[in-house]
A and B are shown apart, each in its own frame.
Chain A
């Protein structure tokens, strides 16, 4: 409860000292006044100028599973045959001089789901920023990524095991700050409802979820960038008054000499301590992937996921090579094979996907 009050106080303070409120009192320059340069105007005319950016990303795949999954696992491919992984409708716009809004709706085979819907402040002082609404918690790196951002046809086994198929997406508020240092350093704190049926789903109404993340980015050379992050999520789980803690570390290396060559290496580690009625389960896992763009339109890579560092009752690993043909920025085809080994499962699982992704309309750039 203390944290909730702290958030409210911080929010009020930020609004109080926001320079934009001062700005709002200033005379707005007259467009036609002589010598005034109002150059942010567009060639848009009439009501069209006020329509938000509307986009739709469709992700469809043909899949083969040696044994079809026992339960649905959307937005990952979930059955042998055709799969509509997602049709993501994005509606994005600056709302007023102080905030912008981003809404992403997933149209699935059997219904609609609000994937994210949040506002972001643009003008708070002291390098602060608040997001509020439903959004992806900043736990590690992969949890913040939409499926269209990924270089693979599905999410890693790591994320699916510790956070569920849809990841840790929840209602809440986030306060973040850009630290005043010479490199990019961002500290964020998420205060969320705490609804996640894999790790956090307390039946008590007063139990919330708290997530902290610290991201740092360095340009090692002109073409090589490194981003490292540490994060933690704390909240009660389905067993009354029992705590789940997840600690994550993420590392991202990006080399891009020009638009026809590039290399990405993403690695993430999760450690989870999940208290139960009798004992505490302590488990960890890792996912690491490398993708090499060897021509303007082609990239190849592989991902390795492993759960069982440390091991509790479950151990699993998966190897996933991919080949992607990027026809344009707006259309791509991807082939992926998964070899999945689960201790005690008997048979090895083989999976293969051919994924097609298309993008209509202006879809805002995702973060790095």
Chain B
């Protein structure tokens, strides 16, 4: 009986880290998808949240701290997207490597042109704003290539023995993505100037990439549900400008969009904005395949 107890205790305490490569943890699934392609067989990648969750409003579950405790590299979007839940998890993780400023922490937006950096008086009268700019930069696949390069470089820095492999993975990824970016641009070129209303600012980078015109947003202030007055304004705008589409991120409340559809006849396109946001989207390129196909199909 005593031996049995010892075996049980040993089993509990034997680390589950049988994998010998880099243990990578990301906040979002799109970062995880890119990191998986960069790491290849040398990295095991986990995302803390699901693709169907709004990354602004995550509760820091204790299990996240346990996952971070075993990480060699932690990748977060940054730009205050995860400010409400990541800092306390980093403290709780007790992992020296991935603390902010240490070797295993990265916010991979270096080299990206950040949009919608607020100017003038920056306070919360403007809603739940991000003072450093819009953090949804991965909605432009060209930024995904930059992020992939930054992640691959960081992996090479942490695991120089496989540096060539990470570089090669990046080159394959960049080549594939650049080819697909050309295809998506070609397919959507005839929709340039398409007028849309979106729920949140998630589609700003996407719109900037393809020349889609976001005339207004259902959340006229980020993070705050629309007022009745703003809904009236939106109805007028959609009718006046003959807006054909409302783009709705699939983790947001569908009721305001449905109301707009009921009042104006505008089509509501509910879209995933993260990898695994719907079951069929399992890669970063797959996310754009899905979105582009849906937009083309809606026209």
Contact = CB atoms under 8 A, between A and B. Distances in A.
B218 interface: no
Contact of A37 (B63, B157, B224): B157
B106 A40 contact: yes
Contact of A184 (B62, B108, B124, B225): B62
Contacts of A260: 253
Interface in B27-71: 50, 52-54, 57, 59-63, 65-66, 69
Which one of A124, A180, A215 has the greatest number of beta carbons of chain B within 10 Å?
A180
Contacts of A215: 62
Interface string A167-195: 00000000000111111101000000000
Given A42-B132, A181-B13, A367 B92 contact: yes
Given A39-B108, A259-B54, A97 B102 contact: yes
Contact of A129 (B94, B103, B223): B94
Interface in B76-110: 78, 83-85, 87-88, 90-94, 96, 99-103, 105-110
A40 B225 contact: no
Nearest to B151: A37
Contact of A127 (B69, B78, B150): B69
A123 B96 contact: yes
Contacts of A41: 110
Interface in A232-277: 254, 256, 258-260
A182 B133 CA distance: 37
Interface in A139-198: 178-184, 186
Contact of B150 (A39, A296, A328): A39
A219 B88 contact: no
A35 B91 CA distance: 29
A179 to B, nearest CB: 8
Contacts of A125: 96
Contacts of A367: 60, 62, 88, 92
B100 A94 contact: yes
Interface in A317-362: 328-330, 362
A20 interface: yes
B109 A329 contact: no
A178 B66 contact: yes
Interface in B91-148: 91-94, 96, 99-103, 105-110, 114, 117, 124, 127-128, 131-133
B106 A37 contact: yes
A258 B63 contact: no
Contacts of A181: 12-13
A37 B150 contact: yes
A259 B99 contact: no
Contacts of A73: none
A100 B105 CA distance: 17
A79 B124 CA distance: 33
B18 interface: no
B87 A365 contact: yes
Contacts of A47: none
Contacts of A227: 62
Contact of B109 (A39, A97, A222, A254): A39
A225 B63 contact: yes
Given A23-B96, A178-B69, A181-B13, A258 B53 contact: yes
B59 A297 contact: no
B96 A368 contact: no
A310 interface: no
A365 B91 CA distance: 11
Contacts of B66: 178, 182-184
Contact of A180 (B15, B62, B84, B100): B15
Nearest to A256: B59
A39 B101 CA distance: 9
A19 interface: yes
B88 A366 contact: yes
B55 to A, nearest CB: 11
Contacts of A203: none
B290 interface: no
Given A37-B150, A180-B15, A260-B253, A368 B105 contact: no
Contacts of A37: 106, 108, 110, 150, 153-154, 157
Contacts of A20: 96
B251 interface: yes
Contacts of A364: 87-88
A293 to B, nearest CB: 12
B84 A365 contact: yes
Contacts of B78: 39
A217 interface: yes
Nearest to A360: B124
Contacts of B15: 180
Nearest to B157: A37
A194 B11 CA distance: 39
A231 to B, nearest CB: 16
B160 to A, nearest CB: 12
In the A-B complex, list the 8 residue pairs whose CB atoms are closest, starting with the nearest: A123-B96, A184-B62, A217-B62, A259-B57, A365-B88, A43-B132, A184-B66, A39-B106
Given A37-B150, A182-B12, A186-B62, 5 more contacts: A39-B106, A219-B61, A328-B128, A365-B84, A366-B88
17 contacts: A18-B96, A23-B96, A36-B157, A37-B153, A38-B110, A40-B106, A40-B107, A43-B132, A94-B100, A122-B91, A128-B94, A180-B15, A182-B16, A186-B62, A225-B63, A366-B88, A368-B61
Interface of A: 18-20, 23, 35-43, 94, 97, 100, 120, 122-125, 127-129, 178-184, 186, 215, 217-219, 222, 225, 227, 254, 256, 258-260, 296-297, 328-330, 362, 364-368
